[in-house]
Amino acid sequence: MHILPKADLRRLTGALAERYALYGPVCHEVSGEVIFDLVDDPSRIDLDIPIPYNPPKGVVFPQAERIMSFSYDRASKAAAIEPEALAAPKALVGLRSCDLNGLLCLDRFMLGQEYVDEVFLEHRKKMFIVSNTCVHPFPQCFCVCTDSGPAAVEGFDLDLTDIGGEYLVLTGSAKGEELVRGLGLAAAPAAKAALRAKAVEASVALFDAQAKDNKAWISRAVNRLTTGFIPHEVWEYIGDQCFECGACAFVCPSCSCFNIEDAAEGEGRSCRTRAWDSCSFEGYARMAGDHNPRKAVEDRRNKRFFCKLSFSQSRKYLRPGCVGCGRCVRVCPGDIGLPNVVTAIRRESTKQVPHE
């Protein structure tokens, strides 16, 4: 491990900015809101501010992205298909552990199945990641309940832990090591290096106060969902409150449903765009001939929460898709959010099985 004086963070971000498009948590220049954004000025990145409102997934999986251009001249029958050339390498600085885990979920899903998603891969392959240990949780957090924080375990090039006045720097890759060497960072003495584990422990202890109740119940909810023991009323209760806005999927660092649309651009040209979608939408699974297998809103709601708590991620990787960031709580007009779903499951289940 190495030491980076806090005042020198600028050197780190500056060095990255030379080689990468630099992204990190910032306070918005006009509104002061905490968001994860592209920065021109590396000193804007602030690792002390709370977790950004938008998930960093937008960098690798943009909200709407042109992925292909077509041209077809019907007169001459000349057809051409061009995939969009993709952008510069990117550095994501200050990812908190939940968000890094979200990214790893996306990696596993987009890259680790039968097919590789080539568009995602383009974004992902030339990337530098600096994670940031949460030395204290924020009010909406429950990463400890989903096994995704408060400190990163894998997937970073560098990992920073604030030990007061300086950061402990953990390297996670050859790229990371090279940068540490380049910056000439001092090695951390053993006593200091041990502080990372201490900081994590202290942070975990702080969760106890805020993440009791519904949140601690997550692993049991996962069990129940996976074994299929959820009464229909739970989904109905949740479905009634859903406004079908899609936000919970959009803000979720591990949600990756998308839509694809082609649009004509005139003179035989057209383009293919892919964009965030949500399985909570009625039109999502609608098919020709008035056949929608997932018509009732509670069926669709349960799809997403099923997915977060049991399916695609956990079926293959033994972890829930939810990484405990708490974002879907804050954006939900229906006051749902994953922790409330867990509460609802718990309420119904304990009603059914009084001795649990």
Partner 1 sequence: MIYKTGICNFCGTGCGHLMKVGDGAVKGVFASPDHPVGAGRLCVRGWHIHELLTTSERITRARVRKDGALRDVPLDEALALAADRLAAFPPEAVAFRASPRASNEDNYLLGKLARAVFGTNNIDLASDAGQGHTVGVLLESGGLPAALASVADLREAGFILALGIDITRQNPILGSELHKAARRGARLVTLSGRRTQIAKLSGTHLQNRPGSMRIVLAAMAKVLLEEGLVDRASTGERTVGFDGFARALDGLDMGRVAGLTGLDLEAVRETARALAGSEAAVAVFASGISGLDRETIAMAHNLFLLAGKAGRKGSGLLAATGICNIAGSWDMGATPRFLPGYVKAGDAAAADRFGKLWSARLNGKPGRTVEELLTSSPPTLKALLVAEHDEGLVRHPEALAALDLVVYVGAYDNPFARFAHIVLPAATYAEADGTYTNTERRIQLNRKKVEPGPDILPAWRIWTALAAKRGVIWPYKTSSDVMKEIAAAVPAYSAVTYEELEKGFGLQWPCDERRPKGCPHPGELPGRLSFAAVPDRFTAPAPTGDHPFLLTAGTDNTFWHTNVIMKKTHIPRREYNALLLLYPQGLVEISAEDAARIGARDKRPVRVVSASGSMRVAAKVSTDVRPGTAYVPYFIGDMITGFLDAHGSLLEGGEESVVPVRIEKV
Partner 2 sequence: MSETGSKAIVTVPAVAVIDEVRDEIEDVKTFYFSFEDPAVGASFRVRSGQFIMCTVFGAGEFAVSLPFSPESDRPHLSVRQVGKVTRALHDLRPGDKIGVRGPFGNGFPFEEIKGKNVIYVAGGIGLIPLRSSIVHVLQHRKDFGRILLIYGSKTAKELMYRYMIDEWKKTEGFETYFTIDNPEPGWDDRVGFVHTLIAPASVPVKDTVAFVCGPPLMFNAVIGELGKAGLKDEAIVSTLERHMKCGIGKCQHCAIGRTLVCTDGPVYTYRQIKTLGEQI
Ligand X SMILES: Cc1cc2nc3c(=O)[nH]c(=O)nc-3n(C[C@H](O)[C@H](O)[C@H](O)COP(=O)(O)OP(=O)(O)OC[C@H]3O[C@@H](n4cnc5c(N)ncnc54)[C@H](O)[C@@H]3O)c2cc1C
- Torsion angle of C-alpha atoms 182, 37, 27, 35, degrees rounded to 10: -120
Binds partner 1 (CB under 8 A): choice among 13, 54, 97, 256: 54
Pick what 58 binds: partner 1, partner 2, ligand SF4, none; C-beta below 5 to 8 Å, kind-dependent: partner 1
**Residue corresponding to tokens 């990190």:** 24
Asked if residues 34 and 25 have their Cβ atoms less than 8 Å apart, the reply is yes
- Residue 49 interacting partner from partner 2, ligand SF4, ligand X, none (CB closer than 5 to 8 Å by kind): none
Strands, E assignment, the chain: 2-5, 21-27, 34-38, 64-73, 78-83, 90-96, 127-132, 158-162, 166-171, 186-187, 258-266, 269-276
Q: Which does 250 bind (CB under 5 to 8 A by kind): partner 1, ligand X, ligand SF4, none?
A: partner 1
Within the chain, what is the greatest distance between any pair of CA atoms? Answer: 75
Cβ distance 57 to 72 under 8 Å? Answer: no
Q: Which of 306, 313, 260 is nearest to 280 (CA)?
A: 306
Q: Which of 185, 322, 344, 345 binds ligand SF4 (CB under 6 A)?
A: 322
What values do phi and psi take at 242, rounded to 5?
-75, 130
Minimum CB distance to partner 2, residue 288 (Å):
4
Residue whose CB is less far from ligand X, 164 or 283: 283
| Closest to ligand X by CB, 186 or 263 | 263
How many H helices and E strands in the chain? 15, 12
> Bridge partners of 79?
72
166-171 vs 78-83, strand pairing mode: unpaired
CB 256, min distance to ligand X, A: 19
Would you tell me which residues interact with partner 2 (CB under 8 A)? 68, 70-72, 74, 77, 79, 81, 83, 109-110, 113-120, 228, 256-262, 264, 268, 270, 272, 274, 277, 279, 284-289, 291, 293-294, 299, 303, 307, 311-312, 315
For the CB of residue 24, give the shortest distance to partner 1 in the complex, in Å.
11
What is the size of the binding site for ligand X (CB under 6 A)? 3
- Please answer whether residues 153 and 200 qualify as being in contact, where contact means their C-beta atoms are separated by less than 8 angstroms: no
Q: Per-residue x/- mask for ligand X, residues 274 to 313, rule CB under 6 A?
A: ------------xxx-------------------------
Rounded to an integer, what distance in angstroms lies between the CA atom of residue 162 and that of residue 132?
8
CA-closest candidate to residue 145, choices 311, 320, 328, 313: 320
Using the rule CB under 8 A, give the single segment among 28-36, 170-178, 223-231, 300-308 that binds partner 1. 28-36
Measured from the CB of residue 257, what is the shortest distance to partner 1 in angstroms? Answer: 11
Secondary structure (DSSP) of 249-312: HHH-TT---EEEEEEEEETTEEEEEEEE--TTSGGGS-BTTTB-TT-SHHHHHHHHHHHHHTTH
Binding flag, residue 331, ligand SF4 (CB under 6 A): yes
Alpha-carbon gap, residue 171 to 187, rounded angstroms: 11
Who's near 336: CB < 8 A, 6+ residues apart?
238, 241, 242, 248, 301, 328
**Residue 196, binding choice from ligand SF4, partner 2, partner 1, none, Cβ under 5 to 8 Å by partner class:** none
Residue 154 contacts which entry, ligand SF4, partner 1, partner 2, none (Cβ below 5-8 A, type-dependent): none
**Does position 242 bind ligand SF4 by CB under 6 A?**
yes
Closer to partner 1 by Cβ: residue 193 or 245: 245
CA distance 353 to 356: 6
69, 71, 219, 241: which one binds partner 1 (CB under 8 A): 241
- Give the footprint of partner 1 on this chain (CB under 8 A): 26, 28-35, 37-40, 53-54, 58, 62-64, 240-241, 243-247, 250, 259, 261, 263-266, 275, 277, 281-283, 286, 290, 330-335
Rule CB under 6 A: which residues touch ligand SF4?
242-248, 251-254, 280, 308, 322-328, 331-334, 336, 338
Residues near ligand X (CB under 6 A) are: 286-288
